[in-house]
Amino acid sequence: MSELSPPEIAANLACVRDRIAAAARQAGREPQDVTLVAVSKTHPAAAVAAALAAGQHVFGENRVQEAATKFAALRPAHPGLRLHVIGGLQTNKVREAVRVADVIETLDRPRLADALEDAIRREGRTPDLLVQVNVGDEAQKSGIPRAEADAFIAACKARFGTALVGLMCIPPLDADPAPHFAWLADRAARHGLKIVSMGMSADYETAIAHGATHVRVGSAIFGSRP
């Protein structure tokens, strides 16, 4: 598995941005209303640097330790950099996540909410938070089950106030994602939440058609992962 070169990464980014803009316009939305989160997990800091050089400033990582190592060195030269933690979060990683993340997209259970509240107080730093919903109610997937989503979102809103900014989902792999995307966008609207993070390399245009404000795209930018 070889890493893509900086020009290849820049070309992929340009292509993804064009497709995002086209999908947004097609949906009667503005291209700037959709934020591209470039998912750099498993790829080296050099790949992130290539994306930064191509004007990409928002990144997603699924492992907190990997994110901390990779991004610490890049932050000083790139004050506009925004890091999203998009992977399932164990409670023993929460303090580090609160330290490194600008956005934590994977708030998905009451115990994690407890740990986050504690970590936010201790660190004196509050990342933006998204509730992850297990829209397909899949046993192996993280996310709050659909049936518990409304109560959990309301509880998180009461607890975290304006730091709770949106919802995130990863629909089932083997099904049409559109109804799941539509459901999540509707949920966000009902709760008055502005951010809807959904859509990956295979389905980000569909997600935009259904109201995604953030798409998380990895392999279409950085190439396949080992």
Ligand X SMILES: *Cc1c(COP(=O)(O)O)cnc(C)c1O
Total residues at the site for ligand X (CB under 6 A)? Answer: 14
Q: Give the per-residue contact string, 138-177, with ligand X (x = CB under 6 A; - = no).
A: --------------------------------x-------
CB of 53 to ligand X, least distance (A): 21
- Is 84 in contact with 130 (CB distance < 8 Å)? no
Q: Does 200 bind ligand X (CB under 6 A)?
A: yes
Which residues, 6 or more positions from 73, have their beta carbon under 8 angstroms from its beta carbon?
45
The closest residue (CB) to ligand X is: 218
Count CA atoms closer than 13 A to 219's CA, side-chain side.
9
Conformational region of residue 124, where left means phi above 0, alpha means psi within -120 to 50, and beta covers everything else: left
Q: In terms of CB distance, is 187 or 216 closer to ligand X? A: 216
H/E element holding 169? strand 164-169
Tokens (6 digits) for 16: 């993804």
Nearest to ligand X of 121, 137 (CB atom): 137
DSSP code of residue 43:
S
**What residues numbered 58-77 form the site for ligand X, per CB under 6 A?**
62
Q: Is 103 in the site for ligand X (CB under 6 A)?
A: no
Cα–Cα distances in angstroms (integers) from residue 15 to residues 21, 36, 217, in the given order: 10, 12, 12
Site string for ligand X, 78-97 (x = CB under 6 A): --------xx----------
- Residues in contact with ligand X by CB under 6 A are 39, 41, 62, 86-87, 170, 200-202, 216-220
